[in-house]
Amino acid sequence: DEVLADKLYRNRENIAFAKEHGIKIIGPKLGRKPKYIDQKERRAANAAARDAENRRGKIERHFSFIKHKCGLGLVRAKTAATIAVSIDLGIMVANIETVLRFFSWKLLLIIKTDAIYLKISYQTNQID
């Protein structure tokens, strides 16, 4: 439907691809800004840009959370299969964190590997 893209990805090739597939790219226009713009147009454009940046910021915060808190910024696996498992686990932990934060639940995980039992007790802070 729409893409909230950085300036880096707003190039002619990507814009043409998006137009061909009916995708709306939200962000600054290519080229030089016009000298004279009507005040109403400027306010509408600024409001739309601010709204897009707010939506994009929410998405970027979630990616940052997954990279820093769930360990996806430090994937050190060697094979494609272990990389896929690491990414799946990071995304799963992020989803569990979101649900727990929303409902403020406590979680107890007991994991058995060979003869070792791991007990993980997890609790989030209450949302005000």
DSSP result, 60-80:
HHHHHHHHHHSSGGG----SH
Confirm whether 23 is domain-assigned.
yes
Total number of domains in the chain: 1
60-103 pLDDT per residue, tens? 888 888 888 777 777 888 888 888 888 888 888 888 877 777 77
pLDDT at 128 over 70: no
Confirm whether 25 is domain-assigned.
yes
Q: What pTM value is reported for the model? A: 0.53
Least confident of 28-37, 42-51, 64-73, 119-128: 119-128
Confirm whether 32 is domain-assigned.
yes
Residue 20: its pLDDT value, please? Answer: 94
Confirm whether 128 is domain-assigned.
no
The answer to whether 1 and 23 are in contact (CB under 8 A) is yes
Confirm whether 48 is domain-assigned.
yes
Confirm whether 7 is domain-assigned.
yes
Confirm whether 94 is domain-assigned.
no
Confirm whether 116 is domain-assigned.
no
102-111 pLDDT per residue, tens? 776 677 778 7
> DSSP class of residue 127?
P
